[in-house]
Structure 1
Amino acid sequence: MTTMSLGITALPQRSPLVTRPLLLRFVSIVACSVGFFLPLAAVPLLADATSPVGGGVANGALLAATVAGELASPWLMQRVGVRVVLAAGLVLLGASTFVLLFSVSLPVLVSTGVLRGLGFALAIVAGGAVTAAIVPPDRRGEGLALAGLVSAVPSLLALPLGVTLSAVAGPGWVFAIAGAVPLLAVASVGGLPGRAAGAQTARVSSRTSGRSGASILAGLRSPELLRPALVFAASAAVAGVVVTCVPGALTGSASALAPALLLVQPAAAGLGRWLAGRYGDRLGHRRLFLPGIALSAAGMAAMAAAASAPLVLAGGVVFGLGFGALQNSTISAMYERADERQFATVSALWNAGYDGGMAAGAFAVSALAALVGPAVAFLALAVALPFVLTLVRRSASTTASTTRPTR
C-alpha cells in the first residue's frame, strides 16, 4: 500500500534556521553587547567623581553618537560594504575602550564615549542587516528573535557585572575585557556574507519595488518602513521611562523593588520577543502590533501605582511582554516589506527609533513628572500610547494582499 493511497500528505519542509553563518554572527552579537554594556554603568560612576554632571555628560555623548552613527551607517554600507562596516564598528568599539586604561578624566570619558557610540552603532546596524540576510525569509521572525535573545542575555548580565568587577578588581579590568572582546570578534566577520544574499527570494511589495534606495531619507519616505518604526519608538519611549523614571518614583513597600523590576522587565521582554518571532512568521507580524501596544500601555498604567509592590512587578512583566513582542514584530514587518538593498536602512531606522524613543520618553516624562507628579505622568503616557494604533490601522490596510498565509 503506497503513501498516496493512505491519503498522507508530506508536511512542507522548513528552511534550516541555525547555520554556520548565523553561528558566526552570534560571535559578533555577543562581543558587541559585552563591549558596549560592560562599561556602561561604570563610566558614569567615574565621571561623577570628576564633576557633578559628569555622568550625564558622558552618557549623553555616548547616546548622541550612537544615534548619529545609526543614521550614517546605510550610507557607509553602500560605499564600502557590510562586512567592512561591521568590522570597523567592532574595532572602533574595542580600541577606543582601551584608551580608558590610561586616563579617566572627564574629557577622555566623553571623547571615548563618542567613539564607542559610533562603533556600537556601526556594528549593530551592519550586523542587523547581515542577520536579516542570513536567516531564511520564511523563518525571519524566529531568526531575528533568536538573535535578539543572544544579544539580550550578555547585555543583561554585563551591566551589573561591570559595576561589580569595577568595585572588586578595579575599572581597569572592565575596560580591558570590554576592549578585547570586540577586537577578538573581528576574526568572525570574514565568514559572513559580504552582501545581502538571496535577493531573488526576498518579498518585495508593489509599493516598495520601485524605490529600493538604501538611505535614511528613502526609509522615511516609505510608509511601509516608517510606520512600524514609529510604533516601536512609541513603545521604546515607555521602556526609557521604566529604566530611568520608575525606579526613583517607587514608594512604600515597592521602594525596594527597583532591582527586581529591572530584572523581570527585560526577562519578560525576551519571552515576548521569542513568542512574537515564533508566531509572527505564521500569523503575520503586523497582527501583533495591537496586542503589543495594548500590553505596553497596560503595563505602564500598572506601574503608575508606585506604592503597590504587586502592581509594579505585574506591570513590569506585562510591559515587558508587550515591548518584546513589538521589538520583534516591528522589525520583522519592516524587513518583510523591504528588498535586501534596503536592509541597512531598516536596521538603521529601527535602531534609531529604539534609542531615540527611549531618550525622548525619559526626557518628556521626567519633565512632566516635575509638574504633575510621577503617577499622573506615567498614566498620561499609558493613555497616549494607544494612539499609535492609528498607524497600525493605516498600515494594515496596505498589507492584506501580501500577508503570509497561516501554515
Structure 2
Amino acid sequence: MCPEAVSATVVGMMTREMNLMMAASTAGLLGFYLLFSSAPLYAATGGGGGLGAGSVTGAMMLATVAAELAVPWLLSRLGYRAVMGLGLALLGLPALLLPLSAALGWVLAVSVLRGAGLGVLVVAGTALTAELVPAERRGEGLGLYGVAVGIPSVLGLPLGLWASHALGFGPVFAVAGLVPLAGLPAVLGLPAMRPAARKTPTGSTASGGLAGLALIFAAVTTATGVLVTFLPLAGTPELASGALLVQSLATPAARWWAGRHGDRRGSAGLLAPGVLACAAGVALQVWAGSPVVVVAGMALFGAGFGVLQNATLALMFERGGAARVSALWNLAYDAGMGVGAMGFGLVLGHTGYAAGFALVALIVAVMLPLTRAEARVKAAVCAPLPR
C-alpha cells in the first residue's frame, strides 16, 4: 500500500476466515516439517544411504515447485476452499502410508505427493491472505501470516528428528499424517471464492513489475539454501543448530515488523536495507569457527530475510493478481533454496567454505542496484493522492 493511502483507523483484519486460514496452514506445515528431516533419514536407514536421503528432499522440492506453477489455474477453477483442502490431503494421507515400506522408491513416491501438497497449500494460503486482509493493512496481514507459518518450522524440524530417535518412525509418521488432516474442518469455513481479477497498476508492466522483485527475493533464498544445508558442515553441528534457531526466530519477527512498517511508510524503502543485512549476515559466515560471529551473522541474515519476505511480497501484490503473485513468489522461494544448495555443492570443492560464503554474499549484494530500480517503480505507481 502506498504510505499516503494508509488510514488512521482500519477494520480489524483478524476475521473468522483469516483465523481459519491460518489454522489450516499451520496444521499443514507442521505435518510437513515433522517429516522434513526424518523422512530422508528413514530412506537412508532403509538402504538408500546418503544418496537416497538427498533424493527424497530433492524430489519433494521439485514436486513443490511444479505444483506451485499449477495453483493459479486450480484456484481459478476450484476456488480457495477446495484447493487448500487438496493441499492438506496431499500432505496428510501419503504420510500415513510411509510405515508400509522404507524402500527408496516408496519413500520417493510419498515425498512427491507431499511436496505437491506443500506447493498447493502455501500458494493458496498466501494468495488468500492478500484477499482477506484490508488493502491498507496487507503488509501487516502478510507479516502475521508469516509468523503463523514460521512456527511449524521452529517446532517441527527438531521435534520430528527427536521423536524419530526416541519413539521410532511409526508414531512420527502417524502424527505427521493426522495433523494436516485435522486442519480440514477449518478449511470448510473458508470462502469458496476464486481469485479476483486485477488490472496492472499504471507505471508497472506485467513482467517488469514482478520479475525484478522475484529476482531480488530469489537471490536471498539462494543464500538461505546454502546456509541451511552447509552451515552444519562448515563448523560444528551444535553451533549451526543454535545459529539456525536464532535465524528462524528472527525471520518471522522481522517479517511482521516489516509489514507494520510497510503499511505506514511503504515497503519499497525496506528492500535495500534487507539486502544489505542478508549480504552482511552471509559474509560473517566466513568466520565459521567463531561462535559469536556465526550467531550474530545468522541473526542479521534472519532479520534481513524476514524484511525481504514481507517487502517483496507486499510490493508484488500491489502490482499483480493474488494467485499469480503468490505462485511466482513461492516459486522464487523454493527454487532459490534448491539452486543454492545444489550450486554451492558443485563449487565447494574449488572454493572451500570461506570463499564460497563470500561468493554467496557477493551474489546477494549485487541485488542492491535492482532494489533502487524497484523503488523507482514503486514511486511511479504511488502517485500523490488528491488533497
TM-score range, shorter chain: over 0.9
1:391 positional shift: 2.3
Q: Which amino acid aligns with 1:231?
A: I
Corresponding residue to 2:229 among 244, 248, 257:
244
Kept in 2, the 8 Å contact 1:203–1:336? The answer is no
- Take 1:310 and 1:67, find their aligned partners in 2: how far apart are those partners? 36
Which stretches of structure 1, 4 residues or longer, exceed 6 Å deviation after superposition? none
1:203 positional shift: 8.5
- Take 1:309 and 1:264, find their aligned partners in 2: how far apart are those partners? 12
Kept in 2, the 8 Å contact 1:65–1:118? The answer is yes
Tell me the equivalent position of 2:201. 205
Kept in 2, the 8 Å contact 1:15–1:138? The answer is no
- Take 1:139 and 1:91, find their aligned partners in 2: how far apart are those partners? 31
Tell me the equivalent position of 2:135. 137
Tell me the equivalent position of 1:218. none
Tell me the equivalent position of 2:110. 112
Aligned ranges 1:158-173 → 2 under 5 Å: 158-173=156-171
Range with bigger deviation, 345-354 or 100-109: 100-109
1:35 positional shift: 1.5
Q: Tell me, which stretches of 5 or more residues in structure 2 are unaligned?
A: 1-6
- Take 2:56 and 2:177, find their aligned partners in 1: how far apart are those partners? 18
Kept in 2, the 8 Å contact 1:284–1:403? The answer is no
Q: Tell me, which stretches of 5 or more residues in structure 1 are unaligned?
A: 1-10, 212-220
CA 1:256–1:38: 2 relative to 1, 3 Å? closer
Tell me the equivalent position of 1:176. 174
Q: Which amino acid aligns with 1:383?
A: L
Kept in 1, the 8 Å contact 2:75–2:194? The answer is no
Query: In the TM superposition, what whole-angstrom CA distance separates every residue of 1:114-170 from its partner, at most 9, and x where no partner exists?
Result: 000111111111121111111111111101110110111122111111111122222
Tell me the equivalent position of 1:7. none
Kept in 2, the 8 Å contact 1:225–1:334? The answer is yes
Aligned partner of residue 18 in structure 1, secondary structure:
coil
1:196 positional shift: 5.3
Q: Which amino acid aligns with 1:177?
A: V
- Take 1:163 and 1:377, find their aligned partners in 2: how far apart are those partners? 29
Aligned ranges 1:8-87 → 2 under 5 Å: 12-49=8-45, 50-52=47-49, 53-87=51-85
- Take 1:345 and 1:56, find their aligned partners in 2: how far apart are those partners? 30
1:283 positional shift: 1.4
1:281 positional shift: 1.0
Kept in 1, the 8 Å contact 2:203–2:380? The answer is no
Kept in 1, the 8 Å contact 2:282–2:361? The answer is yes
How many residues were matched structurally? 377
Q: Identity of counterpart residues, as a percentage?
A: 41
- Take 1:246 and 1:326, find their aligned partners in 2: how far apart are those partners? 21
1:12 positional shift: 3.1
Please report the TM-score for the alignment, with normalisation by the length of structure 1.
0.88
1:21 positional shift: 0.8
Structure of higher CA gyration radius: 1
Kept in 1, the 8 Å contact 2:79–2:194? The answer is no
Tell me the equivalent position of 2:357. 378
1:101 positional shift: 2.7
Tell me the equivalent position of 2:324. 345
1:193 positional shift: 2.1
Tell me the equivalent position of 1:216. none
Please report the TM-score for the alignment, with normalisation by the length of structure 2.
0.93
- Take 1:124 and 1:256, find their aligned partners in 2: how far apart are those partners? 30
1:405 positional shift: 7.8
Aligned partner of residue 228 in structure 2, secondary structure:
helix
Kept in 1, the 8 Å contact 2:203–2:381? The answer is no
1:333 positional shift: 0.7
Corresponding residue to 2:207 among 200, 205, 222:
222
Range with bigger deviation, 116-125 or 391-400: 391-400
Tell me the equivalent position of 1:3. none
- Take 1:120 and 1:382, find their aligned partners in 2: how far apart are those partners? 29
Kept in 2, the 8 Å contact 1:138–1:281? The answer is yes
